[in-house]
Amino acid sequence: MPNHKKNVEVVDTTCPWVSKVWNTVDTHQKKGLTSIIHGKYAHEETVATISFCEDYIIVKDMKEADMVTDYIVNGGDKEALLKYFKNAISEGFDPDTMLNKVGLANQTTMYKKETRAIGQAFQKAMMKKFGPTEVNQHYMEFDTICDATQVRERFSTSFGCRM
């Protein structure tokens, strides 16, 4: 898009995978889903992603995903959950209502294996809570994992590094 006053052209260099994540969470919001974002709440990409969300919770790893899925299935101490995730939830977040329909997205630099495992945990939680025939009404995911990150992950694991 040209800027005639300064004779410059602005070029959007946003990574297509990051744009895909933003489109995914936008779709979640349009479908009335809460976005579950696998990422780090203070990472600049995640901060940008949540700007597209009304309702979200950010989980950093499988331990945090397990905390949320346990709450979905069994309920629990709402105040403790909100306190733990205080920096990683949307304003006014209510886990009793906002975790009934969720969609998964991720910070593109997170590892594919962990994102997949987190997705499976949320899908299983929804099956337990609502039954297998209703899971698609309560859980949604798109593949938003960056190919370059996965190449790096495969390379690292080929040298015996643990991910």
38: three-class secondary structure by DSSP:
strand
Mean pLDDT of 91-115: 91
The CA distance from 25 to 67, in Å, is 22
Catalytic residue among 45, 114, 141, 153: 45
Q: What was the pLDDT predicted at 109? A: 78
Query: What is the pTM (predicted TM-score) of this model?
Result: 0.81
Is residue 160 over pLDDT 70? no
Where is pLDDT greater, at 7 or 46? 46
Residue carrying the six token digits 């260099």: 13
Q: How far out from the chain centre does Cα 71 lie? A: 17
Instruction: Answer yes or no: 44 catalytic.
Output: no
The CA distance from 156 to 38, in Å, is 21
Q: What was the pLDDT predicted at 41? A: 94
Q: What was the pLDDT predicted at 2? A: 58
Is residue 3 over pLDDT 60? no
